[in-house]
Structure 1
């Protein structure tokens, strides 16, 4: 609950990372948290808000990195609890049986996932060297992000729809400065600007870059399993991600520094061709009972196609704290961005670390006062 003695914290960014971080801080107690962002989950889809375009499923990208694995496992545990029957956010998740194939023979070190089993060579698809099966969750991204925002507001959080040009604007005037209200003292800022970290004044991280991903949404409620085939080094991998709603997200692409803001028709057709080869079950049971399905059968059930810019960063996720000038001296600036294509998978884990960094920095402020 918010009190007069609570610390005022501003979170910049309302993507899945910003929303999760704001929830984590607000629910800790002792904080009045405000999210400042241009775009929120209930807004129409836009290229400027990547989180709504994500697949998304919890398949860890850690691949043996123990720090990243701990972050991803923390996130999975939270999502597994939220997704349980009767859980707080069950409507945003679908628990599924997932099959992953790897053309490069990698070991993804996902033995910690429920029901994990390596695939025998006889069960691999053509050209795959290794594979595995496990149980995971898929995330209906518009539903889930709206859930996070509602949860944040219900716990006493506030929002401000504003475009931050420089971090100093918040540091000096607080979240209300954009509405021309009297400045409010800010005790700390948490920067979760995603791709905006490239251009946000006071951050301007040149290591941040877009990784464009294109997806197609099909209406195929008969598909209730996930399937992925990938190679670590090329720009293509194929995935089938069903949602509780009956929509299925198929993809995809990974192209660094490609800024084209809408779906390319030729890429959509190519994605559907790959997806159909990997998962013929995408076509309706009626079609498959009569003949071999074609891409045209998938086009007939296409809801939309689109793309998003994953906020990638050389060196990976930035999680640290520095001091910047505030209205009454220096204040902590916690950074939590650069998640690339792993924002959902690592959201709760990095939010936990961001909160720890924030609390440690504020304790130091008190001890030095």
Structure 2
């Protein structure tokens, strides 16, 4: 990154939100020389799983949804580069990742925009399954979200970052009251030089943002114990949103999904959806059933129930208009300070996390360098 000038020393930055986007962005800023970062959030990855913290429910593989969009492709490519390095043998995060072959089947026959992935190949017509009209294979990574998120948080804290567990009602509580305005002894002290908003679905209601283009996309998954699965498979059709995926993790669990239900706020797994997910998953990947069963007969979804680890759902933070990356200047106790936005990733939070953090950091550094008069 650019060298740090004297005016950048000891800048206090508050990142709002501790999901995958907030954690990655906070870590990226904390690693800049001369910056002190505090994450303010109501939920953290170390809390018990619940529907209000979506990142823990993510399937956890890197398959870009950019569909040829140049900006989003760059963001996803930057992220994949980091994750590929993190998954390298001997890295401190190797245990979190699994490098594996991935197969994508398309029911709508579209061309893939994933030529940049390792070992990319188009499938021949005779190798397609179900009613797929086209498909590709490549090498990618999967990751265990229950390990990856704490890994990022640990790195952030190890670099000197701080966290405050506190629900916010309005951006101005930080802008006027400082990094921790909810403690009377701290109110008005340790004023923020900038705020980076990564509130996910919270952008819909957080005062000072209240982005009504943000909406939930409910995703339900089933986690199976199937350590014999060492490949990923997905079927999709853009026009209908039909989407089935098989995502194995290094530890032996397999994520089977899924759903994309807009403005569906139901907070727990629906039994009938679990049946649908298992039915679609088994059709796509009969290998999900235990090998001893497949050796005797064709498997059914009843053979999958004994290996269910967990069912659950999360609300992906969708946004009409896509990811929001821009800067506003707001009044604070220190005068005008930048408010940088980084939210609206829908189901692409993990695969765009590092690239999005790069964009947010660039916006932040430019704002602090140039001031409001050049915004």
Q: What TM-score bracket applies, with the shorter chain setting the length?
A: over 0.9
- Aligned pair partner of 2:367 in 353, 361, 364: 361
What TM-score comes out, normalization by structure 1 length? 0.97
SS of corresponding position for 1:180? coil
Change (3 A) 1:302 1:5: same
Asked if 2 retains the 8 angstrom alpha-carbon contact of 1:63 and 1:107, the reply is: no
SS of corresponding position for 2:108? coil
- Aligned pair partner of 2:279 in 265, 273, 283: 273
Within 5 A, what are the aligned runs for 1:1-369? 5-182=9-186, 183-365=189-371
Q: Distance in 2 between matches of 1:158 and 1:257?
A: 34
Q: Distance in 1 between matches of 2:125 and 2:372?
A: 60
Q: Distance in 2 between matches of 1:255 and 1:12?
A: 26
Q: Mind listing any 5+ residue stretches in structure 1 that lack a counterpart?
A: none
How far apart are 1:179 and its partner, in Å? 2.8
Question: Deviations 1:184-228 (Å, cap 9, x if unpaired)?
Answer: 111000000000000000000010000001100000000010000
Asked if 1 retains the 8 angstrom alpha-carbon contact of 2:289 and 2:303, the reply is: yes
- Which deviates the most, 177-186 or 210-219? 177-186
How far apart are 1:30 and its partner, in Å? 1.1
SS of corresponding position for 1:48? coil
What TM-score comes out, normalization by structure 2 length? 0.96
How far apart are 1:31 and its partner, in Å? 0.5
Q: Distance in 1 between matches of 2:224 and 2:42?
A: 29
Q: Distance in 1 between matches of 2:335 and 2:70?
A: 37
Aligned residues: 367
Q: Distance in 2 between matches of 1:309 and 1:161?
A: 21
SS of corresponding position for 1:175? coil
How far apart are 1:5 and its partner, in Å? 3.7
Asked if 1 retains the 8 angstrom alpha-carbon contact of 2:179 and 2:191, the reply is: no
Asked if 1 retains the 8 angstrom alpha-carbon contact of 2:328 and 2:340, the reply is: yes
Question: Deviations 1:35-63 (Å, cap 9, x if unpaired)?
Answer: 00011111001111000000011000011
SS of corresponding position for 2:182? helix
Asked if 2 retains the 8 angstrom alpha-carbon contact of 1:41 and 1:146, the reply is: yes
Question: Deviations 1:120-172 (Å, cap 9, x if unpaired)?
Answer: 11101131111000000011111000000000000000000000110000111
How far apart are 1:287 and its partner, in Å? 0.9
Q: Distance in 1 between matches of 2:219 and 2:183?
A: 35
How far apart are 1:367 and its partner, in Å? 8.8
Asked if 2 retains the 8 angstrom alpha-carbon contact of 1:113 and 1:135, the reply is: yes
SS of corresponding position for 1:177? coil
